[in-house]
Amino acid sequence: MQKRRSRYLEAGLLTIGLTLLGVFLASHIYGSIASRAAVWKFATLADQGSGSGVERAQTAGQGVDFGLWSEKRIEAYKQLLSAKFEDPIALLTIRRLSLEVPVFEGTEEPVLNRGVGWILDTAKPGEGGNIGIAGHRDGFFRCLKDIQIGDRIELATPDQKTAYTVDAIQIVIPEDVSVLLPRKRPALTLVTCYPFYFIGSAPMRFIVHASIEESDLKLDNNAPNSESRTTNKQEVTK
């Protein structure tokens, strides 16, 4: 009788283990499909354009790496699998950090659970000012904990692809909106909460500043002046 109970217990534990493994694999697979769908949509838009954004978009083929994500963020991502979103306006890539993520308009919670968001009132991707992009510290932008000065960031729109080089990293209070102001040359600013593994609402903001590379600057003579936009936001978006 005792041996029979042991066998039943072993079978039960095995079944539970296989079920949990299946759920874990399903969350990774479904999350990957949703993100790739957005990237593939961007690639379709890029095909309709005439700029260099097409080449990069068409190389997108790998799934999302959830290795650094929190369980809460993965669950939030899964809940949006069937939600309808506007088309992504850009594709952000940091090759050294294995990051490739669609950029949507706005920084509302559903947007940041699906990708990263363009901060309104900053220069729009493809323009020549300071482009602000926000992401969650326990999601797509957690890899920014390993960002380094000199890293290359690519931002592709359906019409063009622009490369930026990281030249400054800051930790600021949420009310410090000066990080989003125009810089002396076209720039990209990434924003996320800090500390990365803080439990609860993180009190600070982690800021990555990157300036356009010289080769792209020469090709962007007709872009809006980098001093033409300002932001009136009361707080840096998390």
Tokens at residue 202, please?
């993180």
Main-chain dihedrals φ then ψ at residue 90, nearest 5 degrees: -165, 170
Catalytic residue check, 193: yes
Whether the CB-CB separation of 133 and 189 falls below 8 Å is answered with yes
Tokens at residue 185, please?
């040359």
DSSP assignment string, 76-117: HHHHTTT---PPPSEEEEEGGGTEEEEEEES--HHHHHHSEE
Determine which helix (DSSP H) or strand (DSSP E) holds 42, and give its type and residue range: helix 2-47
Catalytic residue check, 136: yes
Burial 128-152 (b: 16+ CB within 10 A, else e): bbbbbbbbbbbbbbbbbeebeeebe
CA–CA separation, 132 vs 121, rounded Å? 9
Q: Of the candidates 177, 152, 123, which has an alpha carbon nearest to the alpha carbon of residue 191?
A: 177
* Catalytic residue set: 136, 193
